[in-house]
Chains A and B, each alone.
Chain A
Amino acid sequence: MQLESFLEQSADRHPENTALVCGDKRLTYAEFEQLANRLAYGLIQAGVQRGDRVGICLENSIEAAVSIFAVLKSGAVFMPINPTTKPDKLAYVLNNSRSSTLIATTRKLATLADAWQNLSHLETVVSVGAEFPDEMKGEMQFEDFDSLIEHNADKNAPPKKRAISVDLAALIYTSGSTGNPKGVMLTHLNMVSASTSITTYLQNQADDIILNVLPLSFDYGLYQLLMTCQFGGTLILEKSFTYPHAVLQKIVEHKATGFPLVPTISAILLQMDLSKYDFSNLRYVTNTGAALPTEHITTIREVLPHVSVFSMYGLTECKRVSYLPLDQIDIRTDSVGIAMPNTEVYIVDGNDNRLPYGEIGELVVRGANVMKGYWEAPELTNEKLKPGPLPCENVLYTGDLFRQDDEGYLYFVGRRDDIIKSRGEKVSPKEVENTLYSHPLIAEAAVVGQDDDVLGQAIRAILVVIPDAELSEREVLAYCRKNLEDYMVPKFIEFQDSLPKSANGKIDKKQLTGATA
């Protein structure tokens, strides 16, 4: 089964049901399917081949949702990219993946116009919004999003299937400890399996209405769209959680039944008076991305006793690993539960031996949801994917340390690498440090995570400036804003005369995190 079948089957089953609401725009399943089909023909006419990587760099919008399914229907691989990604990194991702096509707003594309010649593999650009100025087009082939759809207004059925279920459906770039993002390769089978498992334990039905504020470029947000199309429900797509009251009103107005959270959102929710809102239709909230502090869970349980809280754990490399069954939330509040349906987990020591309950080791995941590897990075892949119980089978080494209690419930203990989880998203300290080092006045930089009630972990940068130079916190932050995605910009900047070093001269981050913890 191919991933786009989610939309096709729901359009077939209940064409008149509302699939998507975005601001004042609303699409039924029939309309959504039709737009995706027409854009798919447009992409094929523009030269998109089976297996091509197609970047989608858009805010949460109808266009983003239609693009995802259109790319799948064209037999290509969609690559969701955070719209706050800066030109240098966008170029890195497009080049690394050898993407043939990019779909983005005219405004975003304008920031790339100086760099067309550096994008050696990109052939076609699809612009969303105002017409792209001719003088900035260079040698690039330009297509207009709306025109591609309009030119295929006579097409009412999907294009002939070109991809099979073991082909790649998505390439999702995620922060790596080396500093460069790496592309997680996910097949149709991987994603259909993950979505099926998750919608099974969430017990989703066609009458579910999900309100999503998480970016579609983040797999947790992306799956809200995919899963909703699978069970035939309605997705209320919001651009962000910037204005909490406005979002909560939408939950009330649309009678939303599901609301996915990350710890940052729940921290803000708990500062508000939730009794003012009629959440009587809300059936569940979910959390993943980083562990929800137990106080958040207990408070949500007190304030919204009728709402189920799903505490979950996962990583892009397999989408989701575990969930805490509802009957355990008040008993094992700090556990992330058990393996989700149709998957298996176990804990191993440094020599790959399975450990008994109670002992701490690395969590290993087995299931059809496990990725195919990192795009063109065999060494990185070999660190994560190792032989499983069956011949030629790979299992996923999560890099996260866990223990199981005497009934097998999982507890997160810590990470094996130094990746920071801020606002539920992974941040590579190395990537932030590389940006800081590129500032002419910064001699040394160390980036560490610091526990933070709202962000989960806040990003803290400790800097040494070059002799006799003057640099303010403001200047550093402005520089970071210019060169990093929003969620990677440090929250705290500190200046020191020198950084602590280990015997072999490396910056000793343990001392830095211990010093002010």
Chain B
Amino acid sequence: MQSITQSVQDFVNDNFLFGQGIESLGESTSFLDEGIIDSTGVLELVMFLEDSFLISVEDEELVPDNLDSIDRLVSFVERKLVELGE
């Protein structure tokens, strides 16, 4: 199975960077500061997380701390999977 990091990177690259290459984006770079995500982008991101990792993202989890960089996304998904007992 693809690693969490890899699939998150692929999603961000395909949808926010339009394939320009994830290398251009550091793992802790803020999507907000780079101007690559907006509120509809956040909704797309959440749909991707829920579908790919079978987790459910609550409204109060929609905050930059959880979602605003590759690193944060990966640790958020890991935490959610632990909560699910996987």
**Residues of chain A at the chain B interface (Cβ within 8 Å):** 84, 239-246, 264-265, 268, 271-273, 276, 454-455, 472, 474-475, 477-478, 481, 486
Determine if B59 and A245 form an interchain contact, defined as CB atoms under 8 angstroms apart.
yes
In the complex, chain B residues whose CB is within 8 Å of the CB of A244:
39, 42, 59, 62
Q: Which residue from chain A places its CB closest to the CB of B60 in the assembled complex?
A: A245
In the complex, chain A residues whose CB is within 8 Å of the CB of B18:
474-475, 477-478, 481
Determine if B62 and A245 form an interchain contact, defined as CB atoms under 8 angstroms apart.
yes
In the complex, chain B residues whose CB is within 8 Å of the CB of A455:
40
Determine if B63 and A271 form an interchain contact, defined as CB atoms under 8 angstroms apart.
no
Q: Which residue from chain A places its CB closest to the CB of B36 in the assembled complex?
A: A481
Determine if A474 and B59 form an interchain contact, defined as CB atoms under 8 angstroms apart.
no
Proximity bits, B60-72, A CB within 8 Å = 1, else 0: 1111100100000
In the complex, chain B residues whose CB is within 8 Å of the CB of A245:
59-63
Q: Is B4 an interface residue (CB 8 A)?
A: no
CA distance A272 to B67 in the complex (A): 17
Q: Which residue from chain B places its CB closest to the CB of A246 in the assembled complex?
A: B63
- Chain B nearest CB: distance from A38 CB in Å? 28
Known: A240-B39, A242-B32. 9 other contacts (CB 8 A): A84-B35, A242-B38, A242-B42, A243-B62, A244-B39, A276-B60, A474-B18, A478-B19, A486-B35
- Chain B nearest CB: distance from A460 CB in Å? 15
CA distance A455 to B18 in the complex (A): 20
Q: Which residue from chain B places its CB closest to the CB of A59 in the assembled complex?
A: B35
Q: Which residue from chain B places its CB closest to the CB of A83 in the assembled complex?
A: B35
Q: Which residue from chain B places its CB closest to the CB of A107 in the assembled complex?
A: B33
Determine if A246 and B35 form an interchain contact, defined as CB atoms under 8 angstroms apart.
no
28 A–B pairs (Cβ distance < 8 Å), ordered by A: A84-B35, A241-B39, A242-B32, A242-B42, A243-B39, A243-B63, A243-B64, A243-B67, A244-B39, A244-B62, A245-B59, A245-B60, A245-B61, A245-B63, A246-B63, A268-B39, A273-B59, A276-B59, A276-B60, A474-B14, A474-B19, A475-B18, A475-B19, A478-B19, A478-B20, A481-B18, A486-B35, A486-B38
Q: Is B55 an interface residue (CB 8 A)?
A: no
In the complex, chain A residues whose CB is within 8 Å of the CB of B37:
242
Q: Is B25 an interface residue (CB 8 A)?
A: no
Q: Is B17 an interface residue (CB 8 A)?
A: yes
CA distance A271 to B19 in the complex (A): 29
CA distance A472 to B20 in the complex (A): 12
Determine if A271 and B64 form an interchain contact, defined as CB atoms under 8 angstroms apart.
no
What 3 A-B pairs are tightest by C-beta distance, nearest first?
Answer: A478-B18, A245-B62, A474-B19
- Chain A nearest CB: distance from B63 CB in Å? 5
Considering only residues 8-56 of chain B, those with a C-beta below 8 Å from chain A are 14, 17-20, 32, 35, 37-43
CA distance A481 to B19 in the complex (A): 12
In the complex, chain A residues whose CB is within 8 Å of the CB of B38:
240, 242, 486
In the complex, chain B residues whose CB is within 8 Å of the CB of A486:
35, 38
- Chain A nearest CB: distance from B43 CB in Å? 7
CA distance A346 to B38 in the complex (A): 38
- Chain A nearest CB: distance from B46 CB in Å? 10
Interface centre among B14, B37, B41, B59 (most CB of A within 10 A): B59
Interface centre among B32, B62, B63 (most CB of A within 10 A): B62
In the complex, chain B residues whose CB is within 8 Å of the CB of A240:
32, 38-39
- Chain B nearest CB: distance from A462 CB in Å? 18
CA distance A244 to B19 in the complex (A): 27
